[in-house]
Amino acid sequence: MDSEFEVPRELSGLQKKRAQYHPELPPCLQVSASPSSSILGITVRVEFGDSTTCADPSSANVIGRAFPHTFGQPLAHFLRATAKVPDAQIITEHPPMRVGVLFCGRQSPGGHNVVWGLYKAIKIRNSDSVLLGFVGGTEGLFTQKTLEITDEVLATYKNQGGYDLLGRTVDQIRTTEQVNAAMIACNDLRLDGLVIIGGVTSNSDAAQLAETFAEAKCPTKVVGVPVTLNGDLKNQFVETNVGFDTVCRVNSQLISNVCMDAQSAEKYYYFIRLMGRKVSHVALECALQSHPNMLILGEEVALSKLTLFDITKQICDAVQARAEKEKYHGVVLIPEGLIESIPELYALLQEIHGLHNQGILTDKISSRLSPWASALFEFLPPFIRKQLLLHPESDDSAQLSQIETEKLLAQLVEKEMNRRMEECIYKGKTFDVICHVFGYQARGSLPSKFDCDYAYVLGHICYHILAAGLNGYMATATNLKHPVNKWRCGAAPLTAMMTVKRYSRGPGAVPVGKPAIHHATVDLKGKAYELLSQKAPSFLMDDLYRNPGPLQFEGPGADAKTYTLAVEDQDYMGRMKKLQEYLDKVKSMVKPGCSQEVVKAALSSMASVTEVLSVMTTPSFGGHQPL
């Protein structure tokens, strides 16, 4: 059943050296090698936290109904061998296990290390266990095309970029047909576990698959791993995604190089579109690393409902202000998702997608648009019209990678600057712009040390999840801004990350649609955004370009982490554990027999805590409400 293995690969010197790098493990995942303690050494220790809900309380019912078997499962924390937790589950038996693993969704640097970490964790506990990789991703799953992972197979893929060890294809397990094919494959191959490596939609699919398997009493447990360069699979449990670090660093290098170029030649503006799907995490992080003059943040545009005209004006005003200081160069970052954040374009895209869904042929769509949408459509340059008419992607978003928003803005800004020039409003030199798109050239990169470590650790955690018999969980490592030996490892139910879309805001809004894990947008109240906002005016005018340089594996910069990770105040999992400790402590301090005063003090304090919390968790308080 195994596919033939590829021709031997020629690795460069650096690739070979990287292949020899061995990521560290946090204490809770370390295996003691001494033979005297061999059983103790490979023990898996799980402590279960409280049962989970979801961030938006009003959605809990909807999600609970849709996922009766997998909603509300407890958090899991994996503990080091020396940890003294009385009610931890100690797993010392490791019968042979059969696990399948697949890549799902766009390749993200580090993916290979998840496979490697999982393989190591499985084999060290039972050499009879088998790890099967599905060749060609989901298609390999449906057609049961597998490659048994061995040391030889992995040899040239450790710490390497791409997904080419196994490849990937359709990237969804959603239709009944697909879900059934997956279940048949898991049954036929007698899999104890199925590990899905992917982003937001792949992990939504994983959650659905877990529920379906549980319902159908299929014994295969489904585990998700957060691997996506977009960095948008972020929530209470997940601090960052495998690949985000690398992609931001490679992009930042390129942006910095372009900034350097702009400043040396002093005659061009560069408009750079960055891959990153609907959200602007990559663009925000790159701006923090490289200090370009402007970043048009999709989330800001959406919040302020800026029109194409507003954005054009904003850029033109900046160009004009810079020209007054004799600066005729600059660098502007544009997230690829921006196009969907501009209200009138979003509305136009919705109409177009609606007509696609009605089966209208592409070349008939423009004649079927509403008068309003039609007017906008005709106003746009021909190249962008063609791109807007492309079929939407599987998650119903536009084909963002194909829509040249940067060129659209470049044309509009150029036109407006020429107008201002003719009308003598602008008196500087002619506005000259060069457009770039960065994405494909970053996502195939050798993964950074951080992504190598993070992915490898998550791979190990997948084994722990399967050993604990958990289904519908995501592997999580937290406290990531600290060194690996401080990382905390655990697992959270996929359903706890879900939200339900609603079409209006406010307390009365009714959730509609299927529960799913949604793209986390850039938090405009978050610290990363705050950091950028503070610096934006000087970035705009003072050219404080900063060059993080090419990704290093040794020496300075090799251990740098993303700003987003470093400044955000995260560690949700750690806090949940801490809270549990407080609750336990209160319980143990206020045991029957203690004084009346102690009980009264406890009651009064607890009443106040619960009061505050009940106010905060009512929907009208403005908790996390996805659009």
Please answer whether residues 405 and 273 qualify as being in contact, where contact means their C-beta atoms are separated by less than 8 angstroms: yes
Smallest separation (angstroms) from a copy of itself to the CB of 409:
18
d(CA 282, CA 489): 25
Residue (235 or 445) nearer to a copy of itself, CB: 445
Q: Is 359 left (phi over 0), alpha (psi -120 to 50) or beta?
A: left
Q: How far is CA 498 from CA 59, 92, 215, 364, in A?
A: 9, 33, 19, 37
Smallest separation (angstroms) from a copy of itself to the CB of 194:
20
Residue (508 or 555) nearer to a copy of itself, CB: 555
Residue (106 or 234) nearer to a copy of itself, CB: 106
Q: How far is CA 581 from CA 416, 578, 585, 587, in A?
A: 61, 5, 6, 10
Smallest separation (angstroms) from a copy of itself to the CB of 345:
22
Biggest alpha carbon–alpha carbon distance for the chain: 88
Q: At what angle do helices 244-265 and 281-290 cross, to 10 degrees?
A: 50
> CA-based angle 399:431:429, to the nearest 5?
175
Smallest separation (angstroms) from a copy of itself to the CB of 169:
8
d(CA 206, CA 474): 9
Q: What is the Cα gyration radius of the chain?
A: 26
Smallest separation (angstroms) from a copy of itself to the CB of 97:
27
Torsion of CA 186, 187, 190, 195, to 10 degrees: 20
Residue (401 or 580) nearer to a copy of itself, CB: 401
Smallest separation (angstroms) from a copy of itself to the CB of 483:
17
Smallest separation (angstroms) from a copy of itself to the CB of 543:
8
What are 473's strand-pairing partners?
223, 493
Smallest separation (angstroms) from a copy of itself to the CB of 121:
24
d(CA 318, CA 295): 12
Question: Which 3-state string (H, E, C) describes 488-513?
Answer: EEEEEEHHHHCECCECCCCCCCCECC
Smallest separation (angstroms) from a copy of itself to the CB of 263:
4
- DSSP class per residue in 205-274: HHHHHHHHHHHTT---EEEEEEB-TT----SSS----BTHHHHHHHHHHHHHHHHHHHHHH-S-EEEEEE
Residue (344 or 559) nearer to a copy of itself, CB: 559
Smallest separation (angstroms) from a copy of itself to the CB of 160:
8
Residue (196 or 520) nearer to a copy of itself, CB: 196
Q: What are the residues binding a copy of itself (CB under 8 A)? A: 7, 9-18, 103, 106-107, 136, 160-164, 167-169, 250, 253-261, 263-266, 270, 289, 291, 434, 436-438, 440-446, 542-557, 560
Residues 6+ apart with CB under 8 A from 609: none
Q: How far apart are the first and last CA of the chain?
A: 45
What does the block give as tokens for 197? 């490596």
Residue (546 or 577) nearer to a copy of itself, CB: 546
Residue (161 or 511) nearer to a copy of itself, CB: 161
Smallest separation (angstroms) from a copy of itself to the CB of 544:
6
Smallest separation (angstroms) from a copy of itself to the CB of 242:
14
**Sign of the C-alpha dihedral computed for residues 116, 445, 167 and 104 taken in this order:** positive
Q: At what angle do helices 176-188 and 200-215 cross, to 10 degrees?
A: 70
Residue (55 or 560) nearer to a copy of itself, CB: 560
Please answer whether residues 230 and 215 qualify as being in contact, where contact means their C-beta atoms are separated by less than 8 angstroms: no
Q: Burial of 577 by CB count in 10 Å (0-12 exposed, 13-18 middle, 19+ buried)? A: middle
d(CA 30, CA 28): 6
Residue (266 or 584) nearer to a copy of itself, CB: 266
Smallest separation (angstroms) from a copy of itself to the CB of 587:
48
Residue (202 or 212) nearer to a copy of itself, CB: 202
Residue (538 or 617) nearer to a copy of itself, CB: 538
Residue (363 or 423) nearer to a copy of itself, CB: 363
d(CA 484, CA 487): 5
Q: How far is CA 338 from CA 201, 335, 341, 392, in A?
A: 20, 5, 5, 16
Torsion of CA 193, 109, 568, 518, to 10 degrees: -60
Residue 367 φ/ψ, nearest 5 degrees: -80, -10
Smallest separation (angstroms) from a copy of itself to the CB of 537:
14
Please answer whether residues 69 and 486 qualify as being in contact, where contact means their C-beta atoms are separated by less than 8 angstroms: no
Residue (71 or 328) nearer to a copy of itself, CB: 328
Residue (95 or 550) nearer to a copy of itself, CB: 550
Please answer whether residues 323 and 426 qualify as being in contact, where contact means their C-beta atoms are separated by less than 8 angstroms: yes
